[in-house]
Amino acid sequence: MEVTSADRAIGTTSLGKRHDAPRGAQVCPDYHAAVEMIGKRWTGAILWALTERPRYFVELSLAIPGLSDRLLSRRLRELESEGLVERSVHAGGPARVSYSLTEKGHALEPAIRELRVWAKRWNCSGVRS
């Protein structure tokens, strides 16, 4: 029974039967979960902004043009629930809230820096020179 490249892509044989992927060919579930988490729209930009320093909500909003306050709030809550971001409330007239990376969040910094280098090298901004 012949297995073509198209069959490999969809996991079937030429007879339509499923075949097992070669050992080690499956995507690691932990890797997949991490990519899904940090790959959500705007999440990478938020993490990048927080690698520089802790920021108040309004500073994050200004640092990431086009991101609505509602979606920024949602993404920050998600990152907080994943243990990547820590929320701190500061006393004062109107209470101010700042966000910073946790130890787990800081552990992503090398990957974020490398992704930025890759994006600049391959001109991933969509702007062609």
pLDDT at 104 over 50: yes
* Structural domain span for residue 47: 24-121
pLDDT at 115 over 60: yes
Helix (H) or strand (E) segment spanning residue 56: strand 55-56
Ramachandran sector of residue 113 (left: φ over 0; alpha: ψ -120 to 50; beta: rest): alpha
Domain-located, residue 78: yes
DSSP symbol at 100: E
Overall domain count for the chain: 1
User: Domain holding 40: CATH number?
Assistant: 1.10.10.10
Structure tokens, 26: 């499956």
13 vs 31, more confident: 31
Question: Which residues, 6 or more positions from 25, have their beta carbon under 8 angstroms from its beta carbon?
Answer: none
Q: How many CB atoms lie within 10 A of CB 115?
A: 15
> Whole-number mean pLDDT of the chain?
85
Domain-located, residue 4: no
Stretch 80-105: mean pLDDT: 94
| pLDDT at residue 41, rounded to an integer | 94
Domain-located, residue 41: yes
Stretch 52-74: mean pLDDT: 96
Question: Which residues, 6 or more positions from 83, have their beta carbon under 8 angstroms from its beta carbon?
Answer: 102, 104, 105
Domain-located, residue 127: no
Stated pTM of the model: 0.74
